Copies of this chain bind each other. A is one copy, B any other.
Amino acid sequence: MQAKNADLRNLDAVAKRAGVSTATVSRVLNNLNMVKNSTRARVLRAAEELKYHPNLHARSLARGKSRTLGILVSNMENPFFFDIYRALESAAHARGYEVVVANTDYSSEQLVSSVRLMIGWRVAGLAAIVSEMDSHLMQMLTDSKIPIVFYDVGTPQKNITNVRVDYRKGMKKIVEYLHSLGHTRMAFLGHHSTLGPISERRKTFLETVARFSPNTEGQIVAAADGLEGGRQAARELLSSGFQPTAILCVNDFMAVGVLRHLRDQGIRVPEDVSVTGFDNIKLAEFCSPALTTVHIPRERIGQTIFGNLVPDQASDRLSGQEILIDPELVVRESTGVARQTQALENRQLSNSGLQPRC
């Protein structure tokens, strides 16, 4: 009478109604052979009639292992991360795995509690598409013995696979491309961060620009993340005295914010200044002007993560390895031949180091 779930039937109920034992029901439900067809039909009908749904907790508990993968994402709102998540999920579903995802919102506390949750759920594997990760958490993860694949966490760890994008290569391509268009004053807008993916872009920017020195100058502008951050950083940059021929943004969102500010100021892109993004999110194609950016193959990343999370018959599994994925340059409308800095001369005449033209 006071059954906790008076409303949900269990194996016993099905077994009784079909006139068999729970073992047989279980066999039917798990598609094991060794069950007579007539029995199978009877059981299936009973389950159907009782609207039976197996209790997945009980199942996991009994099996002692699950086919559920955990995914940690810093920011699901970021279409870039989302695409990886989606690819990973499809790959998982295709192989009969379920997926639970936790959005950590860049919060360290949320991340910790999400990890606790995942461990508590005894997920079969964990994909970490997160940027914040301290050593204490790392310890917790390795202790848990759960297979883990990190996306883009800089420091390679023992026994943990790391899928990374070769951002250096991407950033190098952008700078070289802009250089070939005659750009000589490039600004890099990025959030102030020591995180691998970010600082790698920044460092490579500086290195590559340095290679073209002294004809080419580089400048770093710290910026908050997102559209608003880009807008704000553009404002700062333009009033800083550095007159860029090209503005390189650490990601597409920021670039769109920059475009917005430039438009507000009546500065034309790419005629007056070129702008580039990074990541190639969908928005990059639809903003105006469409953004020149670096495409990062999210689909492949997702699949690669899955492939390295789940043991496979004859897969490319490389445990404890670092796997590098190559990005590629996508040229659209927001970049063009450099026109020195004359477009900005109206705004910045005070700077005498440059000769206005036209």
Which A residues form the contact surface with B (CB < 8 A)? Answer: 4-5, 7-8, 51, 53-61, 64-65, 76-77, 79, 82, 86, 89, 98, 100-101, 103, 105, 116-117, 119-122, 140, 143-145, 227, 256-257, 259-260, 263, 282-283, 286-288
Contact = CB atoms under 8 A, between A and B. Distances in A.
Contacts of A288: 259-260, 263, 288
Contacts of A101: 101
B53 A116 contact: yes
How many subunits of this chain does the assembly comprise?
2
A241 B65 CA distance: 63
B282 A227 contact: yes
Q: Which 3 A-B pairs have CB atoms at the shortest separation, nearest pair first? A: A4-B64, A56-B120, A7-B145
A86 B102 CA distance: 11
Contact of A89 (B54, B86, B103, B122): B103
Contact of A120 (B53, B121, B282, B287): B53
A57 B61 contact: yes
A2 to B, nearest CB: 11
Contact of A55 (B56, B61, B86, B263): B61
A57 B122 contact: yes
A23 B253 CA distance: 53
5 contacts: A53-B119, A55-B122, A57-B121, A58-B61, A77-B82
A73 B116 CA distance: 24
A157 B53 CA distance: 23
Contact of A227 (B53, B65, B286): B286
Nearest to A231: B286
Nearest to A4: B64
A79 B60 CA distance: 34
Nearest to A6: B145
A8 B260 contact: no
A64 to B, nearest CB: 3
Given A53-B116, A56-B117, A287-B287, A65 B145 contact: no
Given A82-B77, A117-B56, A144-B53, A100 B103 contact: no
Contact of A76 (B55, B76, B256, B259): B76
A263 B122 CA distance: 52
Contacts of A256: 286
Contacts of A82: 76-77
Contacts of A283: 283
Contact of A61 (B7, B61, B117, B144): B61
Given A76-B76, A77-B82, 17 more contacts: A4-B65, A5-B65, A8-B144, A51-B140, A51-B144, A53-B116, A53-B144, A55-B122, A56-B57, A57-B57, A57-B58, A57-B60, A76-B82, A100-B100, A227-B286, A260-B286, A287-B287
A117 B96 CA distance: 13
A155 to B, nearest CB: 22
Nearest to A259: B288
Contacts of A260: 286, 288
